[in-house]
């Protein structure tokens, strides 16, 4: 078994060394054959011969414990330097000093332009691009929705920036924006009723901004005491195709009960009992 294992390791080492030699040979052939006429530019298509070499390299690479990406970058740098060294030596070998300087300046300018193209190609490749949000949302068949839809804020809800429920409701916090998400009920007109149990400080309810599906919601307060009810009318168009609706609350301030001498460090805004949507006919 020992002899077989040693033979296997030796064979693997020979295979890896052979593969690396093939890669180096391919690369050196590419450099030597293109020192005078290869122009590195972004967008240049590879020849069929180059594609064949790249296909062979992609098969060999998984068997090698080498950082071939770094090797490629180094070879690109060496290729640029070697090509311009060759061009420069051919142009200034038989010229006077002033002419050599003029040609040297021209070559350096070309090198700068060459590096600019390489950098531009790299930046374009790694540039962040916004996702395509212009997607076609398929129209779903008619949804049978209830005439009255209730969200009990003391139970399980879907949303953000809410504290755990309590027997009397649920506090918004600790941040100044809270949302409630629920399934879409179908287009049409609705009456929205929000039952507010309490506010941590006077004025939060009156200065609160509310939106429905991203549009500002004009709320009317029934009664100045607490608890109270906030009422609004909404009209959901047929063009709204998302499968959920959203109500968002924005608060101008939050407070901790500890500021009132209560041993509670939470930052709170308002407490809600429930939210009701009622379909309006006509």
User: Quick one: pLDDT at residue 281?
Assistant: 84
The answer to whether 194 touches 229, Cβ cutoff 8 Å, is: yes
pTM over 0.85: no
Show the domains of the chain with their CATH numbers.
2-126 (no CATH), 148-280 (2.60.120.1200)
- Cα distance between residue 190 and residue 148, in whole Å: 9
- Cα distance between residue 189 and residue 186, in whole Å: 9
Is cis: bond before 246, omega within 30 of 0? no
The answer to whether 278 touches 185, Cβ cutoff 8 Å, is: no
Is 151 strand, coil or helix? Answer: strand
The residue length of the chain stands at: 282
What's the average model confidence in pLDDT over 124-135? 58
E strand intervals along 38-86 = none
Tokens coding 181: 């998400």
Residue 37 has pLDDT above 50, yes or no: no
C-alpha 54: how far from chain center? 31
User: Quick one: pLDDT at residue 146?
Assistant: 84
Whole-number percent of the chain with pLDDT over 90:
43
Considering the chain, what is the average pLDDT of its residues?
76
Residue 89 has pLDDT above 90, yes or no: no
Instruction: Give burial (CB, 10 Å; 0-12/13-18/19+) of 103.
Output: middle
């Amino acid at each position: 078994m020992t002899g077989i294992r040693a033979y296997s390791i030796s064979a693997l080492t020979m295979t890896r060394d052979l593969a690396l030699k093939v890669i180096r040979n391919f690369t050196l052939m590419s450099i030597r054959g293109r020192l005078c006429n290869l122009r590195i530019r972004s967008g240049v298509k590879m020849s069929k011969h180059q594609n064949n070499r790249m296909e062979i390299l992609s098969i060999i690479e998984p068997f090698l414990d080498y950082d071939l990406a770094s090797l490629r970058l180094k070879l690109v740098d060496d290729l640029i330097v070697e090509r311009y060294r060759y061009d420069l030596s051919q142009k200034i070998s038989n010229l006077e000093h002033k002419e050599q300087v003029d040609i040297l300046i021209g070559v350096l300018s070309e090198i700068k332009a060459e590096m600019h193209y390489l950098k531009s190609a790299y930046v374009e490749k790694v540039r962040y691009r916004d996702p395509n949000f212009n997607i076609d949302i398929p129209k779903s068949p008619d949804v049978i929705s209830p005439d009255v839809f209730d969200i009990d804020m003391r139970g399980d809800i879907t949303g953000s920036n809410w504290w755990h429920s309590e027997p009397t409701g649920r506090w918004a916090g600790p941040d100044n924006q809270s949302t409630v998400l629920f399934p879409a009920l179908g287009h049409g007109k609705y009456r929205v009723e929000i039952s507010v149990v309490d506010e941590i400080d006077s004025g939060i309810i009156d200065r609160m901004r509310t939106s429905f599906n991203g549009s500002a919601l004009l709320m009317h307060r029934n009664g100045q005491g607490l608890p109270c009810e906030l009422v609004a009318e909404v009209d959901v168009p047929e063009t709204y195709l998302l499968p959920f609706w959203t109500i968002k609350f924005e608060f101008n301030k939050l407070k901790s009960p500890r500021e009132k001498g209560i041993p509670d460090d939470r930052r709170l805004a308002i407490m809600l009992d429930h939210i009701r949507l009622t379909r309006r006919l006509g």
